[in-house]
Structure 1
Amino acid sequence: MSAAPVTEAQEERRRAARALLASPLLTSGSEEFRLVRKHGGELASWFTQETGWRLVVDAETARLYKTPARLDDATRPARAARSKAPFTRRRYVLLCLALATLERADAQITLGRLAEGVLTGTADPVLADAGIEFRMERREERSDLVAAVRLLLEWGVLHRVAGDEDAYLSEASNDVLYDVRRRVLAALPAATCGPSTVEAADPDERLMVLTAEVAPETEELRLRALRHRLTRRLLDDPVVYYAELPEDERAYLVSQRYAITRRITELTGLVPEARAEGLAMVDPDDDLTDLRMPEQGTDGHVTLLIATHLATAEGPRTEEQLNSLARELAIQYRSYWRKSAAEPAAAAELAAQALDRLAALGLVSRDAGTVTAKPALVRYALAAPTIRKARSRA
């Protein structure tokens, strides 16, 4: 029996939901934003019921306040707008200081003034005690600030009026002017309580307090909380392994798998892929993701080859063994890869980037320099070819 055809309204809701999942903060001016505003009521109801996430839509922004299912997942960091390099601790600190400066800024601000505000923020004794300091005298420091600013441009917090960040990188006297979109800025924090009310000093404890939710008091509320956590993981994580779930979540997912995945499919178009080890929601259009596998280019090829090696290897591998493999592959494929891949120091970087991607996709685990393949990696194993004998003619 074939599935019922998708109506135009359902297709619009699907596009709007996928846009929110890909970018939880949308700003006015795009077709996706228009669709979210049009179907905002139904979308808000679905996300509240199925995930516990809050959707707020106004004339300028559409903000899906997502609470992560796991607070210990460090595999998907913020990335630089152009290079896609993961944010370092230094850049995260700069981003937070820039946001604090913008909160007190006028309707317009220059990059120079923003840098001054960040420098003032670094004078805080807490940052000094943590060994964090910025002078903005070196190009490297200005590059870190520019990476944070370009992320704010991508989010729509800032709008460039005049100038260019590349000129500022060359010389700090070359300034850039921005409009500050205050409503977008105000929509950024996705917390269940005001950050200023949190007294915990430890970063992990602060994060737990910022995202803490009311403990369920009845059996009905407990089951709803389970559904929320599992739906969040299925929407956010590439794969959900039964072995990694607490007992109550595993039992609930096994019993309610069909109902949960059906509702996700109806809204988003994602298709469930069920295996003995776990469950994944697969995107037939392959665009609702920030990481693809496989991917074109040298880095993508390295990742695929290392994945194949790990999928067929007997037991875990050390990162040093994989660095050696990357060096061998660089020689074997030197005619096809970029020239820098053959440099002596490149192998470790190529292998590290490949492992970062595989870990973010839930395909490997890393612990103290040891890399272990996860069950879903088996799809990248190469089977031995089967050679059929030709039939003899009578």
Structure 2
Amino acid sequence: MRRTRIPAADEPAARLRQAARILLARPLLVAGLTDDGEFRLVRACAAELREWFERETGWRLVADAQTIRLLKLTADPYDGTHPARDPRAKTPFSRQRYVLTCLALTALERTDGQVTLGRLAEEIVLAAAEPALADTGFAFTLDRRERRADMVAVVRLLLHWGALRRVAGDEEAYLGTGGDVLYDVDRRVIAGLLAAARGPSMISEATPEARLDALTSEVLLDLDDSRNRALRHRLTRLLLEQPVLYYDDLSEPERAYLTSQRFALLNRITQLTGLVAEVRGEGIAMVDPADELTDVRMPAEGMQSHLTLLLAERIAAAGPDGVRVGELHRHTRTLAREHRSYWRKHATDPGAEVDLVATALEALRALKLVTVEPGTDPLVCGRPAIARYALAEPTIRERAQPTIPEQKETLR
């Protein structure tokens, strides 16, 4: 478990900053799963943090002796570039795994204080067979290992959150159909997982898109103060959550508010979090000098990160016309041959470039560095911030010879 240096007691501003950074990195802290020093620090600063987040972002902070939860309402509910991941394999969740997670949480709300993995899976199979869900085309059974693997990935996520605590057994044994696992259920954690502007029971919209909008949209009074507060909340959320805030992605009222209030907004964020604003003509990025408050690092160690960096350079060099995914595949095959001595061996396997490029583009999209237009051979276009990864030919300038001033005699 990563341990963070806790500032000394005579550093109140530093303590508040560290507590805010811990909470932004992990909006759900559970006693026993979180480092004890970090948990105590955030809980001690909860009142000040609650006031700041409520005022600047509209997020609620709920804290008790066992759990601390920052209920972060997302600024963009349709942004799918930061998916949930299997805590062990790090693979992104599919739609099926998201549905299974929701069904698992529903089943855990009704179960006893302890549950086995097998029993939880049976409850999910029964729920998946309900007509209202089956009519959408969703189906789930346990007749294949892949489906059991989906179930294990969901449970691992719930263990990571603290909704479940393993008592006995191992998930790998369940995968092999030769064992089961016993868990304690923590309903306090489950009750605080959903961050929404409205409770699901209050939503009557029919389509999934309308239900998602209703779940995340907030009531806005037709008053200047209310509108300005909503603008401040949205912009601060974007600055805290997104790698880059592009002016072109904002509405006219949002751009106008940001233009007039930019200094105050950025200053308040910097004072609380230590993030430093990088302001350019196209937008703003809040840069973390400590490189802690991100889930996608670039550059980072490893072959995949090296490839991602090299592809970013290639996309940046393509300019506004962009580059086709097929061309990136060919470029990756060339790079794999050039770097075969220290890249993984499978990088030169036939077809390996497809997954390698897909993973790289996933990271570049998450960092708001590229857009990918769908098609038979998708077009990848760089966004303004990718210019920092472009390489230019070095220019050597001749150094002028220093001029020695003429000496003049001075009469004394």
Normalising by structure 2, what TM-score?
0.91
Question: 1:13 maps to which residue?
Answer: 16
Question: 1:3 maps to which residue?
Answer: none
Amino acid aligned to 1:151 = L
Note the 1:1-394 alignment, pairs <5 A.
Answer: 8-29=11-32, 30=35, 31-171=37-177, 173-314=178-319, 315-368=321-374, 369-387=378-396
- For residues 280 and 311 of structure 2, the distance between their equivalents in structure 1, rounded to whole angstroms, comes to 23
Identity rate, percent? 55
Q: Per-residue deviation at 1:389? A: 6.0
- Would the alpha carbon gap of residues 390 and 260 (structure 1) be closer, same or farther in structure 2, given more than 3 Å must change? closer
Q: Is the 8 A contact 1:239 1:361 kept in 2?
A: yes
Q: Per-residue deviation at 1:313? A: 1.4
- For residues 151 and 333 of structure 2, the distance between their equivalents in structure 1, rounded to whole angstroms, comes to 34
Q: Per-residue deviation at 1:129? A: 2.2
SS for the counterpart of 1:313 is helix
Q: Which runs of 5+ in 1 are unaligned?
A: 1-5
- For residues 60 and 116 of structure 1, the distance between their equivalents in structure 2, rounded to whole angstroms, comes to 30
- For residues 268 and 98 of structure 1, the distance between their equivalents in structure 2, rounded to whole angstroms, comes to 35
Write the deviation string for residues 270-319 of structure 1: whole angstroms up to 9, x where unpaired: 11111111001100000111110112111101100000011111321122
CA RMSD, aligned part only? 1.6
SS for the counterpart of 2:286 is strand
Q: Per-residue deviation at 1:216? A: 2.8
Amino acid aligned to 1:296 = E
Amino acid aligned to 2:18 = R
Amino acid aligned to 1:8 = E
Write the deviation string for residues 38-90 of structure 1: whole angstroms up to 9, x where unpaired: 01111000000000111111111111111111122111111110121110111
Q: Is the 8 A contact 1:108 1:177 kept in 2?
A: yes
Amino acid aligned to 1:62 = I
Write the deviation string for residues 149-203 of structure 1: whole angstroms up to 9, x where unpaired: 10111111111111111111122x4011111011001111111222122222311
Amino acid aligned to 1:159 = R
- For residues 7 and 329 of structure 1, the distance between their equivalents in structure 2, rounded to whole angstroms, comes to 53
- For residues 225 and 398 of structure 2, the distance between their equivalents in structure 1, rounded to whole angstroms, comes to 62
Q: Per-residue deviation at 1:391? A: 9.4
Q: Is the 8 A contact 1:216 1:225 kept in 2?
A: no
- For residues 13 and 62 of structure 1, the distance between their equivalents in structure 2, rounded to whole angstroms, comes to 15
Amino acid aligned to 1:28 = A
Normalising by structure 1, what TM-score?
0.95
- For residues 241 and 205 of structure 1, the distance between their equivalents in structure 2, rounded to whole angstroms, comes to 26
Per mean C-alpha deviation after superposition, the further-off stretch among 278-287 and 67-76 is 67-76
Please identify the structure whose Cα radius of gyration is greater.
2
Q: Is the 8 A contact 1:17 1:43 kept in 2?
A: yes
Q: Per-residue deviation at 1:32? A: 2.0
